[in-house]
Chain A
Amino acid sequence: MSYYFVIISPADTPLFELTFGTSKAGGDGVPRFRNGETARYMNQFIVHAALDVVEEVQWLSPNMWLKVIDNYAPTNSHISCFLTGTNVRFMLLHQPSAITTASAGSRSSTISSTSIPQNPTSPQTEEAIRQFMNEVFELWVKTLMNPFYTIGKPIKSPVFRQRVVGAGRKWL
């Protein structure tokens, strides 16, 4: 599974972007998106389009964790969202890798039905993403406390990035 994680401000400006691959089931943490070269922009566009859904869904649930809110069928991408109190949105685009499904065969099919890197909609995956989001939220709150950080500006802290990468490795 490949992930694209982005923190989006209430003004729709991306504050933090990170792409990474799964580290579970022998994954090497390198993203392998299906759309290859255009992945970076496509992911951004897909996530941006999903914001519309966030705006609708956020009024329906009291939770900050909104689960999978949108998908983009052509690349089999799923988008999960976590909403903070200031309407900053943590969006995670997760895309199961095409290669595994193509070459895995029957042996791994039983594994992939539940494992995080294979099945983007399984409860296990959802739980893992929830944990990831919670951890990032904690990190994000710490970043906000930093007097040198201006709210609404991109987060440039390398420590933050490193820790988000760590959280990704831990949970996803």
Chain B
Amino acid sequence: MGYNPFLPTAGARVNVLCVPAGRVAPGRFQKLISLLQTAAVVKLKLEESLKFPEDGSYASSNEEKCIFYDISATRDSGRPHLFPLETNSRCQILLGLIDGERVEDAVDNTSDVLSDLDTTKTTFTQQLPPHPGVLVRRLIYCGKERPASLDPDILFMSDADSTEVARDVMTKISRLLMSGVAAFMEDLKDQPISMVPGASSQTLARTGNTPIPSSASPVSTPGKSPGPVPPSPETQIQSDTSRGRFKIIQGMYHLQCGLWSDALDLLSDGASIAQNGHDHLWHGKALESLLLCMLLFSWTGSAFTVPQVCRFLPNRNGNFQTDVSSTAGDSRKALARLMPPIVETVLELYDKVSNLDLGGSLQDVLRESRVRNVNILVFVKRSGGVLTRDCLDQLVRGQTKTQLDLVDSDGETVAISKAGLANILIETLQVSQSSNDLTHSTSMLVAVVSSLSILGLDRKHAFYLKQLMQKFISKLIEARKVGASEAGIHPAAGLPPVSHALHGIIPEMAIGMRTMLSLAAGAYGVPLPSFPPSRQFLLADINDIVGKLQIWVAEHSSGDLFLKLDMLRTCVSVCEALPDVPAGVYLTSTILRAAKQVITLPKQPSTTPPLISAEEQSRLLDNIRRGVSAASRLGAPGCRAEYWDDFLVRDVQVFERDDSSKLIPHKPSDLSVRGSGLTETIRDPFIYNPFSKPKSAVTAPVLVAGQLATFAVLLQNPLEVEVEVEDIALVTKGCGFVPSHHSVVLGPVSMQTFTLSGMPTEEGDLEVVGCRARIRNCYDQEFLVFREDWHLPMNTKQSAAGRVRLRTSRTADASEETGKLISVQFNLPTATTLQLKVVSAQPRIAVKSNTLGSSAIMLLEGESRVFDLDLINEGTDVPADFILVAAEDSVSSRLQEALSNKDLSAAELYEIQNQLAVTPAVDIKKKGLDESVKILEPGQTITYEVTIVGRPGLVSATVQADYAYLGSPSAEVKGTFYTRQVRFPIAITVNGSVEIPRCNILSVHSDFAWESGAASNGEEDSLGPVQTRSTGVSKLSHWLRTRYDAGECCMLSLDLRNVWPQPLSIDIQARKPKSDLTLTQGPPPEAYTVIETLQPGHVTRVVLLVPLLFIENPHAQIPNLEMQKQFVVATSKLSAEAEAVSRESFWYREELLKCVRGTWKEESSGRHGEIDLRKGIRLSPRMVDVLKMDHVDFEYILEPCDEEAEEVESDAYGAVKQIGKSHFILKSERFATLSVKVHNHTQDTLPLLLRLQPALRHQPHNIALDLSRRFAWSGVLQRALQPAIEPGGTGLAELGIIALVQGEYEITASVEEIKAHRLPRAAKTGDATGAVSERRIWHARSPCVIDAVAE
């Protein structure tokens, strides 16, 4: 390190200079020096034999004392040398190192070696002319072994890398030093010593206040070896002053040689002489050395006596009356109390000579001394202002490591004011600006800066460090100009190319500079991480990003950002002046990073521009550009900047172009809807079709292997300048992916979306991690995706006192320090990734229709349209082995919606379900495809036949086909599979055709146009259609008359309205219910048909004859077509009666609708369709009554008695005449037999009780039954019908009757079950209506009416 004038103990060190003698490799030379440096402290105790040869009294060295050597290879020739005021500022021991290896290698035999050594020795002596103060000059031979005949003057140092060897050598040198000092003392003795060496007597004379004895004493200019040879005439007239000075010099030498107690005596003597003689300079020097001496004593722990001269300091309160101390502790206490006043006194003494300017360099030296003295206190202050053992150790050894946490209670407090010390330092510094020596002020600046730092005055330290930096810039530029002119280049011609010689030096120098730069930046609170090495490309590492973010937070959470930026700018300027391009580029990038006010740009624009202006930003970018382009010329090829925004990529999304290429995920269980064949159409609307509805939840996008996928990437640029991204591509993990490369330009302060693409090459899981981008002049860098905004947390509670120390460490204990770096807690940003699934190649199917011209059609209600739909596999290599076709339309979706309503009654529910299931608006059928085809090969086509039926509310319909290539049978599909969907939408307009505003059911009275007897054998039993309009009522009545079953009919009256503006002809048919199965196939064999033409807007009533309907169990549960529901709990809130009525109405309506069917046709255009009778026909309970046929039917036959049979035959108008179905005329007093036929319509065998009740008609009850003299019968009125009536069979009961008088009678009939009927499903359903289990009674619909007339 060389002589450091600012080291507190600089005065107690022996300056050793090592120079290479002969040829020594630099590395070896350094190694040898460092070997010697291991023995830099030589313990005197080991050297008890050491004595001053001529004066044994000095060798009282049984104490532990040391000689400190300052071994180095550097020589500061620029420093002023004020010998003997400063004894050790130049080298005192000159060592020439001979590389033994080299010598041995070069020369073979020993004689040559010796001759070689001789030459070396001569050159050593000649080349380095001696200067005053050099006490020892020696050569050291460093080799494996000592050459046999080595010159005794040459010391030998073994090559073995051990401290022992070095110590041995140093001990020898110490011995030489002792003798050298003694010889020098001998020379100097009795010679006048001028106050300031090198100063002329004239200037000395001018300083009147400094009385110098023998004022005419010439300057002792040392010129000869080994010490100054004083001019002879003065030898005799040595004054007191000179004697004092000599003692001081002697004391200083003794101090260096480790003879401290002697030094203490000599120095105190000298000091008192100087004090008396007002020799301020030397007095100060003596006090300084005394302080050092006491420090050393204190360090070794030995006791010492505080000299008298220190106890009575001038201008001090004389309270340092510490007596002679016997113990080390006491002496240390005394020292602690003495230190500040001694330092102050020294400074004051130096101040007194501050206007002495002898040759200019004295003041420089004095300023150095001032700083050195202050540094003693600074070191103590650093240890907490307590003089401890550790503190002393640091002071003496000159270590600068900080151990703030080590508190040694065993110390003595020293009263020091931080600000006071700082003021002294700063004042000294400011005075030093006036120095003639340029290096002096710089070195003073460095010293003051470091002292301020040690003091803990970080901000003052920072301030002066910045000044130092600025000084560096100007000096460096100046140096470059000088260098350029020397090299013959114009300085503006650009940076000179680096020669090979510089290659070895620059990196080291740069590292030192960089350390200083990061220290300087850290001083203002910019925690610069260590300078990164040049890299090819930067991997994205979340820890790294968080680290950088922490730095940003640290920068922004405290301190003045403008100052920090300015400091960074200064650092950049230093780097540019050096030139250190990589560091410059790195720092520029750091400025840009620090200038950002927000980390993530918010989605909505805000007003937080960077802290530096746009011009400066572009200038910095330009700097980077220039630096990068110059880098390769300056020996840093491949150097680029780090991009300043780690949050470049804000979002990555898959960009889905169209629906047809979108993949929809499915579970394997979804395949259950699929049959064995290749394609399948969904028929049952109630079975959940997993393919029909688009998933509402956002599903992860899926990519297809081998297909180009596009991604939307959101990039941010927080700066106000454009950022050129030369190359950007996606970074993925997982399965193979080939990203394509793009180049984009990001606008200023913006978030922009770009599309990047890439192609997955295999199936599997793909994770998009981020982007890899190369911004112009920046490293290739990976960026993670940060989707969430990140904000600096607001620190609501600030610590009032104390300051956050922001400094990254530059030493090994980095981890420890960075832990303290962040005092602000914040949420770490989280990088998001895009998880994708890549599936194997999928087919692509297109849909089109050849037969449907346009995709919009118009239909009338009930009209249907059929067209063909083709599915074509458009792919070239991938077949489809799964195709599922389904339809969607606006009607069914509305109906489905209605189904979800829980309040619907069962009948309404059935109605809706029926519409969905039985009459869908869209019907798809496969056409002409072989079932065995399992795979739709590329280029193949399947055709479907699609039927669309016009239904009110049908606006749109879609045929959709889901398809995929599964590659395996559906049972073997495991895991999610994906399908694509093609859709064929059709827009439909449906117009009304025929409406049924009203309907009614009317009974046909069975006696209507009743003709006697011969009714059944009419010839004109035409079964053909009857034109009601044309033939009129008479024909109907005629026809009715001719029908044997006319009583089993009723009339359905329908009001029809044509809402279409064209006349429509309609055709409504009604038939027997038996043939319901063949309803849809052609006209039924036996039907009543009404044909009518409806004029537009007119309401026309048509009447249809429909058979009475028999339903065995009209109270059965209304079925639910949706078979999913297995457990049906009656939820109806209706009463049992109302429920029964609604069920009855439901079943009869269903039955009725099976019998009728209507179509319409527009004659002009040929349109035709069905009339939706279901919509028009609603049954009221009254209508149901008319329509229904009872389980049991009664028929009356009244016949005259057998004996009168012939009579009847002969007489057409016999005793009995039937005038209606159950209306008879009976002559009074004639016997007749009433046969009651009971028809069983049910499916059960009914054992029945028949009850007949004759009564008078039109009479009140009591009179009506009074028949005793009016009507008589033979037999019982109540009887069991034997045998039980078979299903469909007839039971017959006969009763002989006679009307005794004329009158109107009626006989009512009723039957009752003998056994209670159990409804088969009553218990199971828990049905309200079916739960009633009792004997059923049926009454005859009409009684048998008998008019008794007179004979």
Which residues in A have their C-beta under 8 angstroms from that of B558?
9, 11-13
Which residues in A have their C-beta under 8 angstroms from that of B422?
52-53
* Other-chain residue from B462, B559, B798, B804 in contact with A151 (beta carbon distance below 8 A): B798
Q: Chain A residue with minimal CB distance to B823?
A: A11
| Contact of A139 with B by CB under 8 A | no
A14–B430 CB distance below 8 A: no
Which residues in B have their C-beta under 8 angstroms from that of A48?
459, 462-463, 524, 560, 563
B1003 CB → nearest A CB, Å: 87
Known: A11-B804, A56-B417. 17 other contacts (CB 8 A): A9-B558, A9-B798, A10-B803, A11-B557, A11-B558, A12-B559, A14-B560, A45-B563, A48-B463, A49-B460, A51-B459, A52-B460, A55-B803, A73-B427, A86-B798, A150-B796, A152-B796
B821 CB → nearest A CB, Å: 15
A46 to B463, CA, bound (A): 7
A35 CB → nearest B CB, Å: 13
> Given A45-B463, A49-B460 in contact, is the A152-B562 Cβ separation under 8 Å?
no
| Contact of A57 with B by CB under 8 A | yes
Q: Which of A77-112 contact B (CB under 8 A)?
A: 85-87
- Residue positions of B touching A, CB distance < 8 A: 417-419, 422, 427, 430, 457-460, 462-464, 466, 524-525, 557-563, 566, 794-796, 798-801, 803-804
Q: Shortest 9 CB-CB distances between A and B: which pairs?
A: A11-B558, A49-B463, A87-B800, A52-B457, A12-B559, A52-B459, A49-B460, A52-B460, A49-B459
| Contact of A148 with B by CB under 8 A | no
A49 to B563, CA, bound (A): 11
* Other-chain residue from A9, A41, A87 in contact with B801 (beta carbon distance below 8 A): A87
Of the A-B pairs whose beta carbons lie under 8 Å apart in the complex, a sample of 29, sorted by A's number, is: A10-B799, A10-B801, A10-B803, A11-B558, A11-B803, A12-B559, A12-B803, A13-B561, A14-B562, A41-B562, A41-B563, A41-B566, A44-B563, A45-B566, A46-B463, A48-B463, A48-B524, A48-B560, A49-B459, A49-B460, A52-B459, A53-B422, A57-B419, A73-B427, A73-B430, A85-B800, A150-B796, A152-B794, A152-B795
A152–B798 CB distance below 8 A: yes
A150–B562 CB distance below 8 A: no
A135 to B382, CA, bound (A): 39
B429 CB → nearest A CB, Å: 10
- Residue positions of A touching B, CB distance < 8 A: 8-14, 41, 44-46, 48-53, 55-57, 73-74, 85-87, 150-152
A60 to B1084, CA, bound (A): 119
> Given A44-B562, A150-B794, A151-B798 in contact, is the A12-B525 Cβ separation under 8 Å?
yes
B5 CB → nearest A CB, Å: 24
> Given A9-B798, A48-B462, A152-B795 in contact, is the A56-B560 Cβ separation under 8 Å?
no
> Given A52-B458, A73-B430 in contact, is the A11-B463 Cβ separation under 8 Å?
no
A56 to B420, CA, bound (A): 10
Q: Chain A residue with minimal CB distance to B824?
A: A11
Which residues in A have their C-beta under 8 angstroms from that of B562?
14, 41, 44
B560–A13 CB distance below 8 A: yes
B282 CB → nearest A CB, Å: 30
Which residues in B have their C-beta under 8 angstroms from that of A57?
419
B418–A56 CB distance below 8 A: yes
A11 CB → nearest B CB, Å: 3
A22 CB → nearest B CB, Å: 25
A87 to B557, CA, bound (A): 16
A165 CB → nearest B CB, Å: 21
B523 CB → nearest A CB, Å: 10
Which residues in B have their C-beta under 8 angstroms from that of A46?
463
Q: Chain B residue with minimal CB distance to A51?
A: B459
Which residues in B have their C-beta under 8 angstroms from that of A151?
796, 798
Interface centre among B558, B560, B804 (most CB of A within 10 A): B560
A149 to B245, CA, bound (A): 69
A104 to B557, CA, bound (A): 46
Q: Chain A residue with minimal CB distance to B559?
A: A12
Which residues in A have their C-beta under 8 angstroms from that of B563?
41, 44-45, 48
A11 to B561, CA, bound (A): 11
A45–B466 CB distance below 8 A: yes
A73 to B561, CA, bound (A): 25
Interface centre among A11, A14, A56 (most CB of B within 10 A): A11
Q: Chain A residue with minimal CB distance to B796?
A: A151
Which residues in B have their C-beta under 8 angstroms from that of A13?
558-561
Interface centre among A10, A13, A49, A53 (most CB of B within 10 A): A49
Which residues in B have their C-beta under 8 angstroms from that of A41?
562-563, 566
A10–B419 CB distance below 8 A: no
Which residues in B have their C-beta under 8 angstroms from that of A10?
798-801, 803
A12 to B558, CA, bound (A): 6
A55 to B800, CA, bound (A): 12
A27 to B466, CA, bound (A): 33
A44–B560 CB distance below 8 A: yes
Interface centre among B419, B458, B801 (most CB of A within 10 A): B419
Which residues in A have their C-beta under 8 angstroms from that of B557?
11
Q: Chain B residue with minimal CB distance to A44?
A: B563
Interface centre among A45, A50, A151 (most CB of B within 10 A): A45
A55 to B801, CA, bound (A): 9
A14 to B558, CA, bound (A): 9
Which residues in A have their C-beta under 8 angstroms from that of B803?
10-12, 55
Which residues in B have their C-beta under 8 angstroms from that of A56?
417-419
Q: Chain B residue with minimal CB distance to A85?
A: B800
Q: Chain A residue with minimal CB distance to B795?
A: A152
A74–B430 CB distance below 8 A: yes
A52 to B798, CA, bound (A): 19
A50 CB → nearest B CB, Å: 8
B468 CB → nearest A CB, Å: 13
Q: Chain B residue with minimal CB distance to A53?
A: B419
Q: Chain A residue with minimal CB distance to B426?
A: A73
A50 to B525, CA, bound (A): 16
A110 CB → nearest B CB, Å: 29
Which residues in A have their C-beta under 8 angstroms from that of B798?
9-11, 86, 151-152
Q: Chain B residue with minimal CB distance to A40?
A: B562
Which residues in A have their C-beta under 8 angstroms from that of B795?
152
B366 CB → nearest A CB, Å: 19
B1081 CB → nearest A CB, Å: 84
Which residues in B have their C-beta under 8 angstroms from that of A73?
427, 430
B530 CB → nearest A CB, Å: 24
B400 CB → nearest A CB, Å: 20
